[in-house]
Amino acid sequence: MSTIEKLKKDFEHYRAQADASAFAQQRESAFVELQKLGIPSIKHEEWKYTNLKFINDIPFQASCLHTEAAKTYYTQNIVQTLKANRLVFINGSFEATLTQIQPEDAGIIITNLASARIAHADMFSKHFGKYATVEGIALNAMNTALMSDGAFIYVPEGKQTAYPIIITNISDASEVNVLNQPRNLIVVEKNAAATVIESFFAFGNHASFCNIVNEVYVGENASLEHYKLQRLLGEHYQNNYTQVFQEGNTHINQVTLTLDGKFVRNNLHFYMNGENCNTLLYGLYLLDGNQFVDNHTRVDHAKPNCFSDEKYKGILKDKSTAVFNGKIMVHLDAQKTNAYQRNQNILLSDEATVNTKPQLEIFADDVKCTHGATVGQLDEEPMFYMRSRGIPENVARKLLLNAFADDIAEKIKIPELVAILEEQIEKKI
């Protein structure tokens, strides 16, 4: 049975329970789009280096299994010292017993999407599916048609989160090959401010595939600190799509940390729909073994006087592979755009690979845009210099790699996250 046929069976199961809502309609048309598109192959330009063949090859089940193992895993492996609001999803479904809400943040809606669809129907229908398009994007269509549950965050006008909101997604493949399709919707209204951490874990002896879609709306003059932390062990595949829609005068600091992952594809899109936006997007990937990570980013400067700064850095060991594709689209109206982009990689082995592709498409004439990509090894001169002062090779390497990663670490405003990053660098080197 082909993947699409299998998904069709799942979809018919959903459809049987569906109501006559606009939401059901959205899913219906998403499924039509998915059938039309099929799963993209490497002939598709956007998937040239990233092979989705595993979706056909591995018999995944859309399971919402909650094992005790996952809960134990959560309590043992996830930083509990950080005071935060927490929502936890295991295999795509909501684990309400692990929810934590700080009293100071009672004015902010932090709940699961399935209940928000009923309880906050207005907000849901105003934003859901409005930013992450399904047209031409098969995996978004697949998520929209077959999504399970996810986080719903609503920061009302003028409010600020007192503590970060941590959305944890755990893929537990300890019993079967699981397919998770979570869906998050984050709305930060006018003059509001929020800190959101998306934390991804995977474990278990079977394979898991997490196909997640995040929609983020940031209203006029609002700001968002947004972190993604991917620690994905075992046979885990992840397609992580995020669409951020920004009104004018918004400020966003986004950091993506991929610290482990057999197969990760991040699609991160920003659309600046107003003037004077600041969009900062940074990423760091630390890969070893046969790990593979692909960061596809796209920044749309649709209006004048916006600033974007992008820097992705990678450290690759063993036979790992990284892909970077950064597109900056400066629309005709977007005069006085400032856009910067860099991708820098250090290969610690002859067998590691990086495919990097910056893409600038500029339709306005008064703009400042730069981009650059480097792929190299740890330089021998700094290494020798340090050794000649009595610092042994392994310590010198660690200092140099920490220094390399520091650029990104300093963009992280939560010390607990920096600590996780440093620990991981220590472990991987």
Partner 1 sequence: MLEIRNLKAEIEGKKILNGINLTVNPGEVHAIMGPNGAGKSTLSSVLAGRADYEVTEGEIMFEGKNLLEMSPEDRAREGVFLAFQYPVEIPGVSTTNFLKTAINETRKYKGLEPMEATDFLKFMREKMELMEMDKSLTSRSLNEGFSGGEKKRNEVFQMAMLEPKLAIMDETDSGLDIDALRLVSNGVNKLRNKDRSFVVITHYQRLLDYIVPDFVHVLYKGRIVKSGDASLAKELEVKGYDWIKAEVEAAQ
Binding site for partner 1 (CB under 8 A): 381-382, 384-393, 395, 399-400, 402-404, 406-407
Q: Which of 393, 373, 398 is nearest to 383 (CA)?
A: 393
Pick 135 or 393: Cβ nearer partner 1: 393
The secondary element (H helix, E strand) that includes residue 141 is helix 138-146
Question: Is residue 205 within 8 Å of residue 197, measured between CB atoms?
Answer: no
The minimum distance between CB 335 and partner 1, in angstroms, equals 33
Place of tokens 């990104």: 408
Cα Rg, the chain, nearest whole Å: 21
Pick 96 or 403: Cβ nearer partner 1: 403
The minimum distance between CB 412 and partner 1, in angstroms, equals 15
Pick 27 or 313: Cβ nearer partner 1: 313
Exposure string over 70-96, b if 16+ CB within 10 A, otherwise e: bbebbeeebeeebebbbbbbbbbbbbe
The minimum distance between CB 104 and partner 1, in angstroms, equals 36
The minimum distance between CB 281 and partner 1, in angstroms, equals 20
Pick 158 or 392: Cβ nearer partner 1: 392
Question: Is residue 310 within 8 Å of residue 281, measured between CB atoms?
Answer: yes
Place of tokens 């018919």: 12
The minimum distance between CB 396 and partner 1, in angstroms, equals 8
Pick 306 or 408: Cβ nearer partner 1: 408
Pick 206 or 411: Cβ nearer partner 1: 411
Under the phi-then-psi rule, with left for phi > 0, alpha for psi from -120 to 50, and beta for the rest, what region is 35?
alpha
Beta bridge partner(s), residue 297:
268, 326
The minimum distance between CB 409 and partner 1, in angstroms, equals 10
